[in-house]
Amino acid sequence: MRSTLTLIAVLTLALVAPRVGEAQTSPYAGKTVTILVGYKPGGGYDATARLLARHLPKHIPGKPTVIVQNMPGANSLIAANHVYSVAKPDGLTLGTFNRNLPIAQLTKVTGVKFDMTKFAWIGSAASETTILAIRSDLPYRSFEELKKADKPVVIGATGPGANTYDFPLLLKEFLGANLKIVSGYSSSADIMLAIERKEVDGRAGSYSSIGPFIARNLVRPVIRARASEPGIEQLPVDEQLAPNPRARAIMALRSAPEVIGRPYVMPPGTPDEQVKTMREAFAKAITDPELMAEAKKAKMELEFVSGDDALRIVKELLAQPQDIVDEFSKYIKFGE
Amino acid sequence: MIDALFEGLLLVLQWKALAFMLLGVVLGFWVGLLPGLGGATTLALMLPFIYTMQPVEAFAFLLGMHAVVATTGDITSVLFGVPGEGTTAATILDGHAMAKKGEAGRALGAALMSSLIGALVGAGALALAIPVVRPLVLTFGSPELFMLAIVGLAFIASLSAQGGRGMLRGFLAGGLGLMFATVGQDPQAGVERYTLGTLYLWGGLDLVPVLVGIFAIPEIIDLAVRGTSIAGDLPPGRLNKGALEGVKDTFRHFWLTIRCSLIGTFVGIMPGLGGAVAQWMAYGHATQSARNAEERKGFGAGDVRGVLGPGAANNSKEGGSLIPTVAFGVPGSTAMAILLGGFFLLGLVPGPDMLTKHLAVTFSMVWTIVLANVVTVAACFLLLNRLATLTTVRGHLLIPVILVLVFIGSYTANNHYGDVLVTLLFGGIGYLMVLGGWPRAPFVLGLVLGRIAENYLYISVARYEAAWLSRPVVLVLIALAIVVICYPLVQARRSGADKDAHA
Kindly determine whether residue B199 and residue A78, on different chains, have CB atoms separated by under 8 Å: yes
A5 confidence band (pLDDT: 50, 70, 90)? low
Please report, to the nearest 10 degrees, the dihedral formed by the alpha carbons of residues B480, B482, B488, B493 taken in order. -120
Residues above pLDDT 90, as percent of chain A: 66
Res. A319: pLDDT tops 80: yes
Q: Which residue has the higher pLDDT, B130 or A199?
A: A199
How does pLDDT run across B81-106, given as a tens digit for each residue? 988 877 888 999 999 999 888 888 89
What span, in angstroms and rounded, lies between the C-alpha atoms of B389 and A106? Answer: 60
Give the range among A69-83, B18-32, B108-122, B222-236 with minimum mean pLDDT.
Answer: B222-236
Kindly determine whether residue A160 and residue B137, on different chains, have CB atoms separated by under 8 Å: no
Res. B239: pLDDT tops 70: no
Q: Which residue has the higher pLDDT, A336 or B111?
A: B111
What span, in angstroms and rounded, lies between the C-alpha atoms of A142 and A243? Answer: 18
Phi and psi based region of residue A26 (left: phi greater than 0; alpha: psi -120 to 50; beta: remaining): beta
Residues above pLDDT 70, as percent of chain B: 96
Res. B252: pLDDT tops 50: yes
**DSSP β-ladder status, A202-206 and B184-185:** unpaired
Kindly determine whether residue B338 and residue A50, on different chains, have CB atoms separated by under 8 Å: no
Q: Which sign, positive or negative, has the C-alpha torsion B432, B435, B437, B441? A: positive
Which residues 6+ apart lie within 8 Å of B280 measured at CB? B90, B152, B155, B159, B310, B441, B444, B445, B448
Dmax (CA) of chain B = 73
Res. A242: pLDDT tops 90: yes
Chain B contact set for A77 (CB, 8 A): 199, 202
Which residues 6+ apart lie within 8 Å of B312 measured at CB? B114, B115, B117, B118, B121, B257, B258, B260, B261, B264, B282
Res. B138: pLDDT tops 60: yes
Res. A18: pLDDT tops 60: no
What span, in angstroms and rounded, lies between the C-alpha atoms of B281 and B84? Answer: 19
Chain B nearest C-alpha distance from A174 (Å) = 20
Res. B116: pLDDT tops 60: yes
Q: Which sign, positive or negative, has the C-alpha torsion B5, B11, B15, B20? A: negative
Q: From 3.40.50.300, 3.40.190.10, 3.90.1520.10, 2.20.25.10, which CATH number describes the A130-256 domain? A: 3.40.190.10
What per-residue confidence (pLDDT) applies to A23?
46
- What average pLDDT does this structure show over B217-245? 78
Task: Report the range out of A154-158, B32-36, B331-335 with the highest average pLDDT.
Answer: A154-158
Res. B237: pLDDT tops 70: no
- Average pLDDT value over all residues in chain A: 89
Identity of residue B2: I
What per-residue confidence (pLDDT) applies to A24?
52
Select from B76, B66, B72 the least CA-distant residue to B41. B66
What per-residue confidence (pLDDT) applies to A21?
43
Select from B356, B265, B363, B328 the least CA-distant residue to B59. B363
Which of B195, B330, B464 is best to mutate for the A interface (most A CBs within 10 A)?
B330
- Average pLDDT value over all residues in chain B: 86
Res. A17: pLDDT tops 70: no
What per-residue confidence (pLDDT) applies to B124?
87
Select from A83, A136, A76, A71 the least CA-distant residue to A100. A76
What 3-state DSSP class applies to A96?
strand
Select from B158, B341, B340 the least CA-distant residue to B263. B158
What per-residue confidence (pLDDT) applies to A1?
46
Backbone angles phi, psi at A311, to 5 degrees: -65, -40
Q: Which residue has the higher pLDDT, B73 or B1?
A: B73
- What average pLDDT does this structure show over B342-353? 77
Kindly determine whether residue A193 and residue B330, on different chains, have CB atoms separated by under 8 Å: yes
What per-residue confidence (pLDDT) applies to B394?
86
Res. B291: pLDDT tops 90: no
Backbone angles phi, psi at A301, to 5 degrees: -90, 120
Res. B28: pLDDT tops 70: yes
Which of B185, B411, B464, B473 is best to mutate for the A interface (most A CBs within 10 A)?
B185
Q: What is the ipTM of this complex?
A: 0.81
Give the range among A99-108, A325-334, B32-41 with minimum mean pLDDT.
Answer: B32-41
How does pLDDT run across B349-400, given as a tens digit for each residue? 777 778 788 888 888 888 888 899 899 888 888 888 778 888 888 888 889 9
Select from B494, B448, B492, B431 the least CA-distant residue to B158. B492
Which residues 6+ apart lie within 8 Å of B401 measured at CB? none
A7 confidence band (pLDDT: 50, 70, 90)? low
Q: From 3.40.50.1000, 3.60.20.10, 3.90.420.10, 3.40.190.150, which CATH number describes the A25-127+260-331 domain? A: 3.40.190.150
How does pLDDT run across A147-167, given as a tens digit for each residue? 988 899 999 998 888 899 999
Q: Which residues pair with A94 in a beta bridge?
A: A35
Res. B238: pLDDT tops 70: no
Phi and psi based region of residue B302 (left: phi greater than 0; alpha: psi -120 to 50; beta: remaining): left
What span, in angstroms and rounded, lies between the C-alpha atoms of B398 and A311? Answer: 54
Identity of residue A208: S
Q: Look up residue B438 and give its DSSP letter.
A: -
Identity of residue A221: P
How does pLDDT run across A38-72, given as a tens digit for each residue? 988 777 898 899 899 999 999 999 999 999 988 88
Q: Mind giving me the DSSP string for B49-89?
A: GGTTS-HHHHHHHHHHHHHHHHHHHHHHHHHHS--SSGGGT
What per-residue confidence (pLDDT) applies to B46?
84
Residues B123 and B370 sit within 8 Å (Cβ to Cβ): yes
What span, in angstroms and rounded, lies between the C-alpha atoms of B347 and A289? Answer: 18
Q: Which residues pair with A95 in a beta bridge?
A: A36, A265
Chain A contact set for B462 (CB, 8 A): 180, 182, 184
What span, in angstroms and rounded, lies between the C-alpha atoms of B26 and B122? Answer: 21
Which residues 6+ apart lie within 8 Å of B109 measured at CB? B242, B243, B244, B245, B246, B247, B249, B250, B381, B384
Residues above pLDDT 70, as percent of chain A: 92
Phi and psi based region of residue B316 (left: phi greater than 0; alpha: psi -120 to 50; beta: remaining): alpha
Task: Report the range out of A79-83, B209-213, B499-503 with the highest average pLDDT.
Answer: A79-83
Angle between the N-to-C axes of helices B334-345 and B305-328, in degrees from 0 to 180, rounded to the nearest 10: 40
The answer for A 25-64 residues in CB contact with B (under 8 A) is 40-42, 46-47, 50-51, 54
Kindly determine whether residue A158 and residue B187, on different chains, have CB atoms separated by under 8 Å: yes
What per-residue confidence (pLDDT) applies to B236?
56
What per-residue confidence (pLDDT) applies to B214?
93
B210 confidence band (pLDDT: 50, 70, 90)? very high
Kindly determine whether residue B330 and residue A40, on different chains, have CB atoms separated by under 8 Å: no
Residues B226 and B395 sit within 8 Å (Cβ to Cβ): yes
B139 confidence band (pLDDT: 50, 70, 90)? confident
Residues A307 and A133 sit within 8 Å (Cβ to Cβ): no
Domains of chain A: which residue ranges?
Answer: 25-127+260-331, 130-256
| Nearest-by-Cβ selection for A186 from B272, B324, B462 | B272
What per-residue confidence (pLDDT) applies to B503?
44
A20 confidence band (pLDDT: 50, 70, 90)? very low
What span, in angstroms and rounded, lies between the C-alpha atoms of A185 and A258? Answer: 22
Q: In what order do the strands lie in the sheet with A263-266?
A: A65-70, A32-37, A93-96, A263-266, A120-124, A305-306
Chain B nearest C-alpha distance from A24 (Å) = 33
What 3-state DSSP class applies to A178?
coil
